[in-house]
Structure 1
Amino acid sequence: MSLTDAQWTPIEPLLPDRMPKRGGRWRDHRQVIDAIAFKYHTGTPWMDLPEHFGTWKGAHNRLRKWATDGTWEQVFTALLAQADTEGNLDWVVSVDSTIVRARQHAAGARQKGPQ
């Protein structure tokens, strides 16, 4: 599972520069996104990522960094806007009026007998 050129083209300009302020050059963003997608698609633990994706720590750290600095939010917002513009996105709204009453123990009532 890897990104096609058509999938990669709209994402690439939204990602940060590969030369961070400190340290060396980052691994290719496309390869790291492929590693993250593989991990979540297969459910494999981080430490069991195949070697061709690079180190698992690099992919995991980039995932966390991009989550905190808002990079993923920008990417997802841009991709949703593009899909909506092209008509590839169907919005479904579901409203349900069902009421489910919880038992008294689930609602935070006393667990012990009367005192």
Structure 2
Amino acid sequence: MFEWDLWPDRRTLRLCEPPRAVVVDMSVLDPTAGRPVGFAPSQVSLRVRAFGVRVEREMPARLVAWLQLCDGQWRALCELPIQSVNGVSRATVTLWVPPEAMRLPADSRTMP
């Protein structure tokens, strides 16, 4: 994933140990996120509707680190579990998330 030991300046890298549960507002990253499956164009096959990734407007994630950009802004490194609509396929993706696109969950003691 990310080789932290190759980043010696820890003033621009803040690791979250342990990782922290957050909720990512996917509509900030992708304005089409969270649309119901019924909004898919009619030419999208049933196979894609079933096996395609479900992206909700808000999705649970794990905040792993903060990294400062050269212009002074910060980005969160988040691990986001995803799955297909039918639940058969699963993966974890890593996203760079702006601070305004995430929040703590209502019960911040639970980890996704």
**What TM-score results when the alignment is normalised by the length of structure 2?**
0.21
Looking at both structures, which has the greater relative contact order when contacts are Cα pairs under 8 Å and sequence separation is at least 6? 2
Task: Kindly name which structure, 1 or 2, has the bigger radius of gyration based on alpha carbons.
Answer: 1
**What TM-score results when the alignment is normalised by the length of structure 1?**
0.21
